[in-house]
Amino acid sequence: MKAVVKTEAGPGHLAYTAVPDPALAPDEVVIGVRATGICGTDISFYDWAEDTVREYRPRLPVVMGHEFAGEVAAVGRDVRGFRPGDRVTANPILYCRACHYCRTGRTNICLNRPILGLGLQGCFAEFVAMRQENVFPLPEGVPYDIAAMSEVLCVGLHAMERAAPSPGDAVAILGPGPLGLLLLVAARAAGAAPIVVIGLGADTERLSLARDLGAVSIDAEAQDPMEAVRDLTGGLGADIVFEAAGHASAVPQAIRIVRRGGRVALLGLGHTPASFNTADLVYKEIDLIASRAYTPATWRRLPGALAATQSLLARLVTHRLPLQQAAEGIEMMKARKGLKILFTPDWA
């Protein structure tokens, strides 16, 4: 089959090339990939960011990618409940099932959690193999390109589980990238209002889309986000601030924007240390929450969430490219020329 392979350490080094078809273990499903998307982690891996390499310890060469949806092509002899032709997506993290965190339901922080496209052969390919328990059926009527955003939607759903907004809570989101706008979709589904999305001057198109999706958008280079959020909340600030920018300056900004007794949820993977005064957390009695990935419980919520939000998710897809243009798509994302960029293998 054809696939996009990270061939060497260092920035770049992608090849669209022939690789062996995935082998089929007794408990696995082989899925024909119909649509697959770029994640921020893919960009970090492409750039060979030090913290990403340290966390995942990738073994090269490896097929990239972990966000996808497709059609079951083959099932192992022990698989029950799936058959060829079924429309599916998958949790790309192969948590170990045995460590303390897996046994207590927190598979997202498993001690041994290889992930497609980093520790395992990924989905920037025509086919991918996945163990049955990680495979989830798609709701009827949800197209493959929307379903390819299942993984990042689950990231947003888990963040909502962690931060627990109530209907009517004021939510601010720092960073209008794909994750930030997925958080907007998830926050709307949770009943939060108002929702404020904060970006920079270079994010003009993304901030415009945030407005179209029902948020108040703020260019932090043109106005003070803290003052703007206070104006919208009777001077109090946001109940919850989600940091999805992954930039060191966003964390102290989130602490400024949140109200006393509020919550700051960190999702962005910054590559440099963030500096802030812990006294600010104490004086305002702020809950500082980190949210990583998702758990199987999150994925069990996915069919209903996809069905409820698919019209909003469709607005996030800005480009559809053939799989062989993966490097071009990644460079477009880095230049903020696209929001959600999806690839389609030749066979699909």
Give the tens place of pLDDT for each residue, 230-263: 999 999 999 999 999 988 889 999 999 999 999 9
**pLDDT (tens digit per residue) in 120-135:** 999 999 999 999 999 9
Integer Cα distance of 176 and 339 in angstroms = 9
Joined together, the tokens standing for residue 211 give 């407005």
- Picking from 266, 251, 257, the residue whose alpha carbon sits closest to that of residue 284 is 257
* Number of residues that make up the chain: 348
The pLDDT of residue 51: 86
Tens-place pLDDT, residues 23-55: 999 999 999 999 999 998 999 999 999 988 988
Contact 22, 121 (CB under 8 A): yes
Per-residue confidence (pLDDT) for residue 277, from 0 to 100: 92
CA distance 219 to 223: 6
Contact 91, 291 (CB under 8 A): no
Q: Which helix (H) or strand (E) holds 232?
A: helix 225-232
Average pLDDT value over all residues in the chain: 94
CA 78 centroid distance within chain: 31
pLDDT in tens, 148-204: 999 999 999 999 999 999 999 999 999 999 999 999 999 999 999 999 999 999 899
Average pLDDT of the segment spanning 280-308: 95
pLDDT of residue 119: 81
Is 16 within 8 Å of 125 (Cβ atoms)?
no
- What is the spatial order of strands in the sheet that 62-63 belongs to? 14-18, 2-6, 62-63
DSSP character at residue 240 = E
Q: pTM (2 decimals)?
A: 0.93
Contact 256, 226 (CB under 8 A): yes
Q: Coil, strand or helix: which one is 282?
A: helix
| Higher-pLDDT residue of 28, 268 | 28
Q: What share of the chain has pLDDT > 70, as a percent?
A: 100
DSSP character string of 142-166: --HHHHTTHHHHHHHHHHHHHH-PP
pLDDT band at 273 (very low <50, low <70, confident <90, very high): confident
Domains of the chain, start order: 2-149+316-344 (3.90.180.10), 154-290 (3.40.50.720)
Written as one letter, the residue type at 17 is T
